[in-house]
Amino acid sequence: MRVWGLYGNPLVVNTWHDKLSNGLFGQNHAGLDWHLSLVVDFLLLMVVFGGAFIAYLIVREIVVSIVSKVVKKTSNTWDDELLNSRIFTWISLLIPAVIILHAAPHAIVTHHDGVPLFSGFIQAFAKVFIIILSFLAANSLLNIFERIYSRFEVSRELPVKSFFQVIKIILVLAAIIFIISTLIGKSPVLIFSGLGAMTAIMMLIFKDSILGLVAGIQLSANRMVAQGDWIEMPKFGADGEVLEVALTTVKVRNWDKTITTIPTYALISDSFKNWRGMSNSGVRRIKRSINIDMSTVGFLDEPMLSQVKQIRLLKDYLTEKEQEIAQWNGEYVTDAADNKVNARALTNLGTFRAYLKAYLHNHAKISSTETLLVRQLQPTEHGIPIELYVFTTDSRWAHYEDIQSDIFDHLLAILPGFGLRAFQAPSDHSFQWHDPSRS
């Protein structure tokens, strides 16, 4: 039985296999049994694997070590992401895989009855290994770019995680196609051309990914939502900070520390509230009212007028208002008996509103550049609502709540000074607690 070389040709004299056969079995080895030739193949293959392992050690211990030292000495911080990734691991494995791919055909040349033994299998295995390592290296590189981009402030307004995920999906599909073409021995072009017939199936399988990609492009282009934004979406029970804008989902950490996952395309199809504008402006709105018992509203009599004149914030208002009222009454009121009907006079509610305006204008935590309103709303069965519409200069949640509470604490405490009472059910004092010991 004659031993044949690669592709069915007789062994070439100067190949690795021929030289080792001459050393082991002498010059006349043309008729060697294929079992003995296979032993020579195995020995040569061990040499190839040994060389590949040495190349792996050189790349991992020497080249990677040098690159690591250079990276650590640079003043940049973004290149540290290279060390935090596994890209050097994949490259270190890729080098020996390439060596095995190109050297294995020269080591395994034995054929038996025209059928190659092991060489095709090892080459196919090496190619598949190279494809997988190339995909893992590209995936690590994308992760590096994503982490570097996240270091910049623009990443909060223009998240690109969804785009990187799309690229990764494309890489996975391409890697699978190349692996299949390697195993079946066909050109990958034939597989790519056959994907057209599978478009409908692919769209069904990757429906969420396609919708997420389109939504991600719209969200980024219109800057609708970004990492770190505070959003409210009652439909999904979301009220908190955006942690991640991904291809198919948006993760929101609610204020109770729970995590809500929202489909990315839902942010396009449904409405949600984004508090980014408030956060960026540095101010936050107070819009709250207190209901005044209508039975306590009336004109200021002399004792009450003397009392409110002691309030420093009302001195200018009362002086101007008294002059205006006196002038108007002097011109239009002639019958002293009808003064209560025809004459103008100060009311306790109007004076209270004037005091609130002055108080808020002088408040250190209320913005003087934003809208400031103290308005009376439509009376209801629950009294007359007096609404405060102002903006605090501190938008932090806890500080904002403290400022708002302090203002309304003061508002409620000052009401009796104007002869007013806040409405509550019941609005009279018939249900006040009575101490039996005082009866």
- H/E stretch holding 196: none
The answer to the question of residue 423 being in a domain is no
User: Does 411 lie in the same domain as 294?
Assistant: yes
Q: Which residues contact 2 (CB under 8 A, 6 or more apart)?
A: 10, 30, 31
C-alpha to C-alpha distance for 90 and 99, rounded to whole angstroms: 15
The answer to the question of residue 435 being in a domain is no
**Structure confidence at residue 379 (pLDDT):** 92
DSSP string, 244-298: EE-SSEEEEEETTS-EEEEETTHHHHS--EE-HHHHHHT-EEEEEEEEEPGGG--
- H/E stretch holding 14: none
C-alpha to C-alpha distance for 378 and 133, rounded to whole angstroms: 72
Residue 351, Cβ density class (10 Å: 0-12 exposed, 13-18 middle, ≥19 buried)? buried
Asked if residue 346 lies in contact with residue 305, where contact means CB atoms within 8 angstroms, the answer is yes
Asked if residue 368 lies in contact with residue 361, where contact means CB atoms within 8 angstroms, the answer is yes
User: Does 60 lie in the same domain as 187?
Assistant: no
The answer to the question of residue 262 being in a domain is yes
State how many domains the chain has.
3
User: Does 366 lie in the same domain as 268?
Assistant: no
Q: Which residue type occupies 302?
A: E
The answer to the question of residue 390 being in a domain is yes
pTM for the complete prediction? 0.54
**Structure confidence at residue 33 (pLDDT):** 55
Number of separate helices (H) and strands (E) present in the chain: 18, 10
User: Does 188 lie in the same domain as 92?
Assistant: no
The answer to the question of residue 433 being in a domain is no
User: Does 293 lie in the same domain as 198?
Assistant: no
**Structure confidence at residue 199 (pLDDT):** 63
User: Does 146 lie in the same domain as 70?
Assistant: yes
User: Does 101 lie in the same domain as 10?
Assistant: yes
User: Does 144 lie in the same domain as 14?
Assistant: yes
User: Does 258 lie in the same domain as 319?
Assistant: no
The answer to the question of residue 373 being in a domain is yes
User: Does 47 lie in the same domain as 105?
Assistant: yes
**Structure confidence at residue 52 (pLDDT):** 84
Containing structural domain, residue 359: 284-332+341-418
Asked if residue 343 lies in contact with residue 326, where contact means CB atoms within 8 angstroms, the answer is no
- H/E stretch holding 369: none
User: Does 235 lie in the same domain as 293?
Assistant: no
Q: What is the pLDDT along the chain (439 residues), one digit of tens a residue?
A: 334 443 344 433 345 556 665 555 555 555 555 556 666 677 777 877 888 888 888 887 887 778 777 777 777 777 677 777 788 888 888 888 888 887 777 666 665 554 455 666 777 888 888 888 888 888 888 888 888 887 777 776 666 777 777 788 788 888 888 888 888 777 777 766 666 656 666 666 667 767 777 777 777 667 788 888 889 999 898 999 999 887 778 899 998 899 999 888 888 888 888 888 888 888 999 999 999 999 999 988 888 888 888 899 998 889 888 888 888 887 777 665 556 667 788 899 999 999 999 999 999 999 989 999 999 999 999 999 999 999 999 988 899 999 999 999 999 999 999 999 999 876 555 445 444 444 4
